[in-house]
Amino acid sequence: MYCDGGGLYLNVGTGADGAITKSWIFRFNDGRERQMGLGALAIVGLAEARQRAVQARKLRLDGIDPIEHRRRQRAAQREAEARVRTFQQVANEYLLRFEPSWKNWCHTVQWRVTLADYVYPVLGGMDVEKITTDDVLRVLLPIWGAKPETASRVRGRIESVLSFAGIDPNPARWRGHLEHRLAKRNRARDVKHLAALDWREMPAFMAELRNRDFDIAALALEFAVMTACRAGEVLGATWDEVDLQDRTWTIPKARMKRDREHRVPLSDDAVAVLERMTAIRHSDVIFPIARVTVLRRLQELRPGVTIHGFRSTFRDWASECSDAPDRVVEAALAHVIGNAVEAAYRRGDLFERRRTLMTRWAEYLGRTAAASNVVEMMKLPA
């Protein structure tokens, strides 16, 4: 024990492994000798050890046991940490509360992905009570100019989570707050069409999909192309929605963007995909695969192209290669036809005319690449 004075000692000894140990100790007497550890020499230098010893002497001067004082401080800190609600904890509570009410499966995935990619690395471990506007800006500024649409959604999601936590004023609020800290976006310039293949390239693309060994991602892509449906509708499809005998797929309104049931006529090739999937059926879901896996397969085959873009490809083909009226093509895409008054009077869904259109689409997709450049005009039944 080497005394530095004022109760401060350097304790030199040997550990269980025989190595030399050196640590600081504050010694005092309150009727019995007490020793208070102040830290190892390798971590706490002489100057800091002297400061800690002074603090301990001041507590003793005020009649406070320094060892008990430190124990109470640590207990209070642990209690405070237990009360802290981190942003990620609150976000998980928010998602558990509201996800069941979201009809769009893609919306749920996008929420979780954007939080994980952009928000959690900055705010995830922070106490929601201590998040400031500057913290929110640290998330938004790197993507505000490069990914404006994503940045806008990220801001809104941060605001929703903080509002759920009861934070007021909300540092992620736009109106009257962040609108004065971030440049307003030119929304006209933000509009971007999702990347799509030219319709003339589709037969070659479909041939590549069909030449792969049994591949659920490729089959899901093939089915999405042939039905001109959205990725979420295809990947959320269940066997009880399909009538193979009637060759019809009925998507319930709960899974539709427009909140109304949509009947999809199935071509022979679309039915063939479903029959292949029956061979591995082990759940109610037809294509038991994650969206990211399907996207990865598409990027391997056609980098930059999006699943949703195939709907645009189908629309272009229908305009170029058929005399199908717009209302039939729009109905095939599950778009609203006309205004509210027109929709109220048109109760039918043009199903049989759509069946003919989708059959011709499937026939075109099955062509050889050489024949795909030949434009054959088709007639729909009256």
Structure confidence by residue, pLDDT tens digits, 31-55:
899 999 999 999 999 999 999 999 9
pLDDT exceeds cutoff 80 at 87: yes
Structure confidence by residue, pLDDT tens digits, 225-244:
999 999 989 999 999 999 99
Structure confidence by residue, pLDDT tens digits, 312-350:
999 999 988 888 888 999 999 988 765 443 444 344 578
- The superfamily in CATH containing domain 87-190 is Tyrosine recombinase, N-terminal domain (1.10.150.130)
DSSP secondary structure, 107-132, as one string: HHHHHHHHIIIIIHHHHTTSBGGG--
Average pLDDT value for residue range 262-272:
94
Burial class (CB in 10 A: 0-12, 13-18, 19+), 302: middle
Structure confidence by residue, pLDDT tens digits, 46-85:
999 999 999 999 999 999 999 999 998 888 777 766 667 8
pLDDT for 212: 80
d(CA 53, CA 38): 8
pLDDT for 7: 93
pLDDT for 91: 94
pLDDT exceeds cutoff 60 at 192: no
pLDDT for 377: 52
CATH assignment, 2-83 = 3.30.160.390
pLDDT for 135: 95
What stretch(es) of the chain map to CATH 3.30.160.390?
Answer: 2-83
Global pTM reads 0.51
What stretch(es) of the chain map to CATH 1.10.443.10?
Answer: 199-373
DSSP element (H, E) containing 286: none
What stretch(es) of the chain map to CATH 1.10.150.130?
Answer: 87-190
Cβ contact 304:227 at 8 Å: no
Question: 238's torsion region: left (phi>0), alpha (psi -120 to 50) or beta?
Answer: beta
d(CA 127, CA 172): 15
CATH assignment, 199-373 = 1.10.443.10
Residue 126, token pair as written in the block: 């922070």
pLDDT exceeds cutoff 70 at 371: no
pLDDT for 338: 55
| Packed helices 202-210 and 216-227: angle between N→C axes, nearest 10 degrees | 150
Structure confidence by residue, pLDDT tens digits, 106-148:
677 788 888 999 999 999 999 999 999 999 999 999 999 888 8
User: What percent of the chain has pLDDT above 70?
Assistant: 87
